[in-house]
Amino acid sequence: MTVRVLIADDHEIVRRGLVLEIGTLSGWEVVAEATNGREAVSLARDLEPDLIVLDMSMPELNGLAAARQILAENPKARVIMLTVHESEQLVREALSAGVRGFVLKSDAGNTLLAALKAVLAGRPYFNSRIAQLVIEGFVRSAADAAGPAALSAREQEIVQLLAEGKSNKEVALALGISVKTAETHRGNIMRKRGFSSLADLVRYAIRNGMIDP
């Protein structure tokens, strides 16, 4: 039986490399490629691939937000996150969403196939650095609980869109909500995270891998 893989990354050269790497496995096939998170969600829904590889930093909808939507619709989906960001918060939130594999782009040539095989077999996959981040996250969990309030999945979507330079009106259009609702979300985000300016919001988005620097 063919193993069907969906790849989502906004850089064509990265997608080409992933396709070539997966093509070395007998009986494996890349059935679709997405260039942003919303396209990945749609293709995952329509094709129901065996494995989904999501780049963390994609336009419109980042990999974490896309993973949440994919796994909400299909909890059995097997998702691997491809990232340049070594963020403990990203790892913690992705695990909570149901992501079961993490591959650093710098290591993808050496670890991608092992990650794909492990997750297909129902096993999680982390390299040593990601595993260390997970452990550090547990150690700091008590301190984190006393920190700023966490953002909801919808608020994180809005953070990404705002950090990409979208106006309140453009955010509302992208998410199918009213401008007033978008403005309310923006105000809540600024208050919950203690942002004093849009620049603070952009720095937060960069630090947490929502957009590229």
Phi, psi of 197 (to 5 degrees): -160, 170
* 106 and 190 together in one domain: no
Say whether both 119 and 179 belong to one domain. Answer: no
**pTM beyond 0.75:** no
Residue 132 placed within a domain: yes
**Domain that residue 69 falls in:** 3-142
Of 110, 142, 174, the domain-final residue: 142
pLDDT of residue 141: 55
Residue 143 confidence (pLDDT): 45
| Amino acid sitting at position 11 | H
Q: pLDDT at position 91, please?
A: 80
In a domain, 93, yes or no: yes
Please check whether residues 31 and 131 belong to one and the same domain. Answer: yes
> Is the domain of 114 the same as that of 48?
yes
Residues 58 and 100 in one domain: yes
Q: Answer yes or no: do 123 and 161 share one domain.
A: no
Domain shared by 109 and 164, yes or no: no
Residue 123 has φ and ψ, to the nearest 5°, of -105, 145
User: What's the number of domains the chain is made of?
Assistant: 2
Sign of CA dihedral 62, 128, 126, 94: negative
Using alpha carbons only, give the angle 28, 35, 155 rounded to the nearest 5 degrees. 115
**Within a domain: 169:** yes
CATH number at residue 197: 1.10.10.10
Tell me what pLDDT residue 136 has.
66
Q: Is 147 inside a domain boundary?
A: no
Token look-up 């988005």 returns: 205
Considering the domain architecture, whether residues 160 and 100 belong to the same structural domain is answered as: no
Domain presence at residue 85: yes
Assess whether 39 and 81 both reside in one domain.
yes
Three-state SS across the chain? CCEEEEEECCCHHHHHHHHHHHCCCCCEEEEEEECCHHHHHHHHHHHCCCEEEEECCCCCCCHHHHHHHHHHHCCCCCEEEEECCCCHHHHHHHHHHCCCEEEEHHHHHHHHHHHHHHHHCCCCECCHHHHHHHHHHHHHHHHHHCCCCCCCHHHHHHHHHHHCCCCHHHHHHHHCCCHHHHHHHHHHHHHHHCCCCHHHHHHHHHHCCCCCC
What is the chain's pLDDT, residue by residue, as a tens digit (213 residues)?
Answer: 799 999 999 999 999 999 999 999 999 999 999 999 999 999 999 999 999 999 998 988 999 999 999 999 999 999 999 988 777 777 878 888 899 998 888 877 788 899 999 999 999 898 767 777 666 665 555 444 444 567 888 999 999 999 999 999 999 999 999 999 999 999 999 988 889 889 889 988 888 888 877
Q: Are residues 111 and 130 in the same domain?
A: yes
> b/e per residue, 64-75, with b = 16+ CB within 10 A?
bbbbbbbbeeee
| 179 and 126 both lie in a single domain | no
> Domain with 90 in it: what CATH number?
3.40.50.2300
